[in-house]
C-alpha cells in the first residue's frame, strides 16, 4: 500500500523542520529521553492497510512475547488501541499444524482488527503460515524482523533478516501472493547500522502493506535512545505506510514521534506494560480532545480484575496465579503498592489471592497518598502541557 495523499507535502515539510528543532539526538533532552518541549497537537487520519482493514485511531499495541495474549489484547482494544498484535508465533509450527503454535493463534471476536505476527526465514513456509493465519480470521499478518534475542538471530531469524534484503523481498512476495489480507513487517533501524531503508524498499517491492520500525539497531537491543531520524528517513524514502515504534509511553511522546518523524501511526510496546490507559490518552489527544484523567485506584482495581478474569477464562486459575505476578508488578511499579505486592506474590494461588494482593497494593498507595507510576507520570505531563 502506498502512502496517503492530500496533506503529505505539508506534513513532510513540517517534520523535516521538526527533526532539527525537536531535540535529536535525545541526549540533548532534559531529562534524558522523556524531556524537551511537548510538541503542538498533531492530526493523523486512520491508517488504512487495505479497503477493509483500517487502524483507527492510528495507535498499535506492539507484539510482546508472553504479554500480548488474548486477555491483554482485549483490554488494550477496550482502552482505545486501533490495532493489536499477537506475540510472535513460529511460522513452521503454523504451517505444520503444531499444537503449541495453533494454540497461540487464539483470536477473539471483540479484538478486531488484530494482526498475527509470525517469524521464519523460508518464503514457502512463511506463505503457508500466512494462509493459516488468514483462515483463522486475522485481519493482517506481520513478519518479525526485529527480535534481537540471540536464540532467534543465531538461527537467521528475527533481526537477522535485516542483513538480507533480497530474502526479505522474496518472503513478502510469497506471502502477499498467498493471502488476501495485508502483509506487514516489523523491523529495527538496522543490524548494527542504519539498514532500514534497504529493508523497507525490499518489503515494498515484495508487496508489503506497511512497515513498523523500532528506532534502535539489533546491536542497541533496548538500550540508549531511540533514533527518530532513521524513522523519518524511512518515511521520506520508502513508499510504504510507516508505523513509528520506540520510547512511546504517553500522549506527549506519541506527539513527539508523530511530529518529528512524520510517521502514519505509532506503536506502543513497553510503555503499555501495566498501563493500558496509554491508548485512551493517545487516542483522545489525536482526536483533539482533553487527555482523560489518570485512572483512580478504584478504576485500576476494576481494570485489573477484568484482566485477571479474562486470563483465568483463557488459561485457567492455576496458570493465571503464576503468570499474573509480572502484570501486577507492572501495574504498581514504582509505587508503595509494589512493595505490598511483593510480600504477597509467593502466596498467590487462586483468584481470591489475586484480589487480596491487589487490595493490599491499593491500600498501600492510599496510605502513602501516592498513585502508581502510570498515573503519576500522566499528571506530570498534564502540568507540563
CA distance 243 to 251: 16
Q: Return the closest-CA partner of residue 371 out of 338, 341, 323.
A: 338
Question: In sequence order, what DSSP letters do the residues of 84-132 get, joined into one string?
Answer: EEPPPEEHHHHHTT-HHHHHH----GGG-SEEEEEE-S-HHHHHHHHHH
Phi, psi of 143 (to 5 degrees): -105, 125
> Which pairs count as long-range contacts for 225-229, CB under 8 Å and 24+ apart, including other chains?
225/25, 225/26, 225/27, 225/32, 225/33, 226/26, 227/24, 227/25, 227/189, 227/194, 228/19, 228/22, 228/24, 228/26, 228/256, 228/257, 228/260, 228/261, 229/19, 229/24
> Which residues carry out catalysis?
147
CA 95 to each of CA 102, 140, 220, 347: distance values in angstroms, whole numbers, following the listed order: 10, 17, 32, 41
CA distance 320 to 264: 36
> Sign of dihedral through CA atoms 240, 244, 250, 252?
negative
DSSP 205: H
CA distance 218 to 42: 30
Convert 273-304 into a string of H (helix), E (strand) and C (coil): CCCCCHHHHHHHHHCCCCCCCCCCHHHHHHHH
Query: Which region holds residue 66: left if phi is over 0, alpha if psi is between -120 and 50, else beta?
Result: left
CA distance 333 to 64: 19
| Side-chain half-sphere exposure of 291, counting CA atoms within 13 A | 24
Amino acid at each position: 500500500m502506498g502512502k496517503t495523499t492530500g496533506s503529505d507535502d505539508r506534513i513532510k515539510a513540517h517534520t523535516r523542520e521538526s527533526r532539527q528543532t525537536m531535540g535529536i539526538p535525545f541526549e540533548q533532552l532534559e531529562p534524558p529521553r522523556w524531556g524537551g518541549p511537548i510538541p503542538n497537537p498533531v492530526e493523523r487520519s486512520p491508517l488504512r492497510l487495505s479497503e477493509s482493514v483500517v487502524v483507527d485511531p492510528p495507535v498499535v499495541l506492539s507484539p510482546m512475547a508472553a504479554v500480548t495474549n488474548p486477555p491483554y489484547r482485549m483490554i488494550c482494544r477496550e482502552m482505545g488501541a486501533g490495532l493489536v498484535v499477537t506475540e510472535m508465533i513460529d511460522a513452521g509450527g503454523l504451517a505444520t499444524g503444531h499444537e503449541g503454535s495453533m494454540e497461540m493463534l487464539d483470536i477473539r471476536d471483540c479484538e478486531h482488527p488484530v494482526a498475527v505476527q509470525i517469524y521464519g526465514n523460508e518464503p514457502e513456509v512463511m506463505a503457508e503460515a500466512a494462509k493459516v493465519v488468514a483462515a483463522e480470521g486475522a485481519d493482517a499478518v506481520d513478519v518479525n524482523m526485529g527480535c534481537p534475542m540471540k536464540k532467534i538471530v543465531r538461527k537467521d531469524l528475527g533481526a537477522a533478516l535485516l542483513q538480507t534484503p533480497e530474502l526479505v523481498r522474496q518472503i513478502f512476495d510469497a506471502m502477499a501472493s498467498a493471502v488476501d489480507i495485508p502483509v506487514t513487517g516489523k523491523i529495527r533501524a538496522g543490524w548494527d547500522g542504519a539498514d532500514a531503508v534497504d529493508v523497507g524498499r525490499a518489503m515494498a517491492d515484495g508487496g508489503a502493506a506497511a512497515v513498523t520500525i523500532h528506532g534502535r539497531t539489533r546491536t542497541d537491543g533496548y538500550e540508549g535512545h531511540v533514533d527518530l531520524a532513521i524513522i523519518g528517513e524511512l518515511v521520506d524514502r520508502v513508499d510504504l505506510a510507516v508505523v513509528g515504534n520506540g520510547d512511546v509511553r504517553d500522549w506527549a511522546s506519541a506527539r513527539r514521534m508523530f511530529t518529528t518523524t512524520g510517521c502514519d501511526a505509532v506503536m506502543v510496546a513497553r510503555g503499555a506494560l501495566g498501563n493500558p490507559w496509554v491508548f485512551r490518552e493517545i487516542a483522545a489527544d489525536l482526536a483533539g480532545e482533553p487527555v482523560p484523567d489518570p485512572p483512580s485506584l478504584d478504576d485500576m482495581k476494576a481494570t485489573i480484575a477484568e484482566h485477571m478474569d479474562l486470563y483465568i477464562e483463557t488459561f485457567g486459575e492455576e496458570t493465571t496465579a503464576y503468570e499474573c505476578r509480572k502484570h501486577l508488578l507492572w501495574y504498581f511499579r514504582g509505587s508503595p503498592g509494589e512493595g505490598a505486592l511483593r510480600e504477597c506474590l509467593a502466596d498467590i494461588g487462586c483468584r481470591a489471592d489475586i484480589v487480596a494482593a491487589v487490595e493490599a497494593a491499593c491500600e498501600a498507595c492510599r496510605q502513602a497518598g501516592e498513585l502508581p507510576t502510570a498515573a503519576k507520570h500522566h499528571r506530570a505531563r498534564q502540568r507540563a502541557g
